[in-house]
Structure 1
Amino acid sequence: MTTLNQTGFASQTAIPLKFFEHQQDAHVIRSDAEAIAIAHELAQEFAKEASLRDQERRLPLEEIQKYSQSGLWAINIPKVFGGADVKYRTLAEVVKIISSVDSSLGQIAQNHWAFVEHLRLDATPEQKKFFFELILKGIRLGNAFSEKGSKTVADLTTKIHKTAQGYEINGEKFFATGALLAHWIPIVAVDEQGRSYAAIVPRDTTGVEIINDWSGFGQRTTASGTVRLNHVFAREEYVIPVHQAFERPTPAGAISQFIQAAVDAGIARGAIEETIQYVRQYSRPWIDSGLEKATDDPYTIANIGDLKIKLRAAEAVLDLAGDAIDVAIADTTEAHVAEATLLVAEAKVLTTEVALLATNKLFELSGTRSTLSELNLDRHWRNARTHTLHDPVRWKLHLVGNYYLNGVELPRHPWS
């Protein structure tokens, strides 16, 4: 049975079962321009209670429904299967728009989009048809991939083995962003040979227990907690050999990291806008400046300029990375995949740096009153600090430097 209570948090109410009922098909987006326009419309609505949701650790149930029903969760499905197959720079723009107002919402969908690529790469034609049709109708995929306590992030202990009826899975996951709010959950487990498979199971499958025990100080409403797996049955036709995506050149790892970087760029974008609005409305000029308004302070002006330039640079490299991913999908060669992976790593460094800088400068430029708890402006820094820890940027710097200095290609895995 799936545990749906928000254990240990302010609200103890269960998620209504009707939240998971599929009542009507989602809108189907047809173009890049339509995807961006819908993202802007949703962002205006999602912004209204974003701070309150964070303060109360209130899961964005209504918002998630609108988000997936909008059609945005299906925009990277190939056109041959009925999707918009938008450019990856468009997908990044959608993620940034949503993340700029609520980065938890931006993150919840990231593993869904990343897994769509795994379906494209390694699912059978029948599996693609089945799952792409579900996603186009508004079905959400969750995430049961990472674990805690192992030697490295890649050392998975969750096991999958063949049975007479299908497959059985046993283990425990953490950082399971989106699982609590999903209709189907891709569970990544390893077989006797250490090869990774993704078994996609309905969220109410017997033996699947989802616990909302995410206590991180940032990204509070992602429900990125525990999934326990006790003799979970998976049908053979729902099992994908995801290990294959990293045994040959594919952009799978780059895409996963690319979406992560887009979330961070969105956090930076939102924090800079929040800073500008606060300085305009509330900040006072410093006593020694002799100025009438804080917006005339030359140091504040210069800092805003610096933030905007750094954000534009980070987003520009992110766009280049998105274009390289598109090339790698269209013509999947070692060279194209390596270029996409390299540019994504560079973008990840820049988006991390500007997200942390922008969320810190928010307080420096706004002044002491901006730290008042009722304003909850610290959510931007908490979210940036939490989400950018997904993988160490210090290693991105090493990998990029090693490529240019020694010609060593970046590794092929979901964190590169």
Structure 2
Amino acid sequence: MTTETITRHGIAAHATEVTVIAGDTAALEAARCFADSIAGSAADRDRERALPHEEIEAFARTGLWGITVPRSHGGAAVSHVTLAEVLAVVSEADPAIGQIPQNHYCLVDAVRLIGNDAQQALFFREALAGRRFGNAVSETGTANSKTMHTRLVRSGGAWRLNGRKAYSTGALFAHWVPVAAVDDEGHQWLAYVPRNSPGLQVIDDWDGFGQRTTASGTVLLDDVHVDALHVLPRDRLFSPPTIHGPFAQLLHAAIDLGIARAALRDLRFWLRNKARPWADSGAVHASEDPLTLNKVGALIVRLHAAEGLLTRAGQALDAARDAPAGEAAAVSAASIAVAEAKIMTTELALDASTTLIEFGGSQSTLRSYALDRHWRNARTHTVHDPVRWKYNVVGAHWLNGTEPARHASV
């Protein structure tokens, strides 16, 4: 069992050794090793809704949670291509576990973009030490998904937080819970709150039919004290233009790619070993059914297209990250490239997971095989940002030169 100490910032820190990953190759190798260690128990976790506390601790010890920290602060600053593949590899093994660090990486990126020197020194050090940043950004019951009621008010030399958050993926497993809030003048802020702060309550009430073990539940904030050092100006995340929005979307696309790969992996096994051919096909084995071969061929072409678009999107993000600050053209190019990848990975994950059940036949619906989890995971995760709007963004940009919107969903 690990022991815990309390740091000077009031956060519980596990006294375990965390690897510091040196570069892209090491990151990919660590992701594959970790994925191998969790893949065999993924169906059981989904079936029993067994929250992956031990798995997340092991994940953090790999050092993968610190791979986006800039080299200037001791991190690997891996390419976006590598980061996307890391999440896709882990998500193929268990997409619920793959989704949990998605917000963490976004919140490390926020520190890079809008944190001052002292904030970067603190939070980058925390990330390299395996400390996890959760998420308390979204709210329900508002006019739309971008509206917030959570309030941050000044209190002497510090701040006070009050509000209610939903879909707080990662917060239950986190050391820090970054909270999006507005002040009395309407300015947006990100308050990085230690998980054990008085007045902060994380409730495990996530009841989604897919991604069941992400613990994407509710966060309550009742007059929570926040140190001034832990408050960042969220308004500056998107103006001037930054890659924060397409960065977040790239990671969502990577998770969907992982789900698609998992469904296709099981489809291949099922067609070779379990499924029967349709009687009219004349085939002896399901893997020889001509209509099956046609559909499988189409899915594999789309898989390779999705992988290529995700790589292209990662390269566009690398170029935009290295461009001069506020370079709108590079950010727009990255946003469009990521939107195209997100369209492909979303539709592939849904189609592959549906085809698995369709071609698997009646046996494939049995709960003992848990094949339905791929579709449930895909359908749950892909409602995060509607693909119908991404088609609109891509078309408007190509046809009319319209710039993409600037927020975390583009």
Structure 1 length-normalised TM: 0.94
State the 1:291 CA deviation.
2.1
2:269 corresponds to which residue? 277
CA RMSD of aligned residues (A): 1.3
State the 1:391 CA deviation.
1.2
Alignment pair present for 1:244 and 2:236: yes
2:310 corresponds to which residue? 318
Residues 160-199 of structure 1 aligned to structure 2 (within 5 Å): 160-199=152-191
Cα deviation per residue 1:342-398 (whole Å; 9 max; x = unaligned)?
A: 111111111111011111011112111000011111000000000000011111111
Cα deviation per residue 1:102-154 (whole Å; 9 max; x = unaligned)?
A: 10011000000011111000001111111111110110110000001100111
1:381 paired residue among 375, 378, 381: 375
Q: Quote the Cα distance in structure 2 between the aligned partners of 1:405 and 1:193.
A: 38
Alignment pair present for 1:77 and 2:69: yes
DSSP-derived class of the 1:221 partner: coil
Contact 2:396 2:402 (C-alpha < 8 Å) held by counterparts: yes
Contact 2:3 2:15 (C-alpha < 8 Å) held by counterparts: no
| Structure 2 residue identity aligned to 1:303 | K
Q: Quote the Cα distance in structure 1 between the aligned partners of 2:187 and 2:319.
A: 28
Cα deviation per residue 1:63-82 (whole Å; 9 max; x = unaligned)?
A: 10111110111111111111
| Structure 2 residue identity aligned to 1:125 | D
Cα deviation per residue 1:307-358 (whole Å; 9 max; x = unaligned)?
A: 1110111121111111111111111411100100111111111111101111
Q: Quote the Cα distance in structure 2 between the aligned partners of 1:372 and 1:311.
A: 26
1:259 corresponds to which residue? 251
1:402 corresponds to which residue? 396
State the 1:21 CA deviation.
4.4
Q: Quote the Cα distance in structure 2 between the aligned partners of 1:371 and 1:342.
A: 38
2:363 corresponds to which residue? 369
Cα deviation per residue 1:165-205 (whole Å; 9 max; x = unaligned)?
A: 40001000000000000011111101122221111111010
The 4+ residue runs of structure 1 with deviation greater than 4 A are 16-21
1:60 paired residue among 52, 57, 65: 52
Gaps of 5+ in 2: 6-11
1:12 corresponds to which residue? none
Q: Quote the Cα distance in structure 2 between the aligned partners of 1:62 and 1:415.
A: 31
1:11 corresponds to which residue? none
Residues 112-151 of structure 1 aligned to structure 2 (within 5 Å): 112-151=104-143
Q: Quote the Cα distance in structure 2 between the aligned partners of 1:391 and 1:65.
A: 29
Alignment pair present for 1:100 and 2:120: no
Cα deviation per residue 1:269-311 (whole Å; 9 max; x = unaligned)?
A: 1110111011111111221222221111122122111111101
1:225 paired residue among 213, 217, 221: 217
1:357 corresponds to which residue? 351
2:194 paired residue among 190, 202, 219: 202
Gaps of 5+ in 1: 1-15
Contact 2:3 2:14 (C-alpha < 8 Å) held by counterparts: no
1:111 paired residue among 98, 103, 110: 103
Structure 2 length-normalised TM: 0.96
| Structure 1 residue identity aligned to 2:46 | D
Cα deviation per residue 1:200-248 (whole Å; 9 max; x = unaligned)?
A: 1110100001100000100000000100000011000011112101110
Contact 2:56 2:97 (C-alpha < 8 Å) held by counterparts: yes
1:48 corresponds to which residue? 40
Q: Which moved more, 1:175-184 or 1:307-316?
A: 307-316
Q: Quote the Cα distance in structure 2 between the aligned partners of 1:134 and 1:296.
A: 53
Contact 2:13 2:131 (C-alpha < 8 Å) held by counterparts: no
Q: Quote the Cα distance in structure 1 between the aligned partners of 2:78 and 2:158.
A: 35
2:8 corresponds to which residue? none
| Structure 2 residue identity aligned to 1:54 | D
What fraction of aligned residue pairs are identical, expressed as a percent?
Answer: 44
DSSP-derived class of the 1:341 partner: helix
State the 1:101 CA deviation.
1.4
Q: Quote the Cα distance in structure 2 between the aligned partners of 1:100 and 1:190.
A: 37
DSSP-derived class of the 2:396 partner: helix
DSSP-derived class of the 1:222 partner: coil
State the 1:18 CA deviation.
6.1
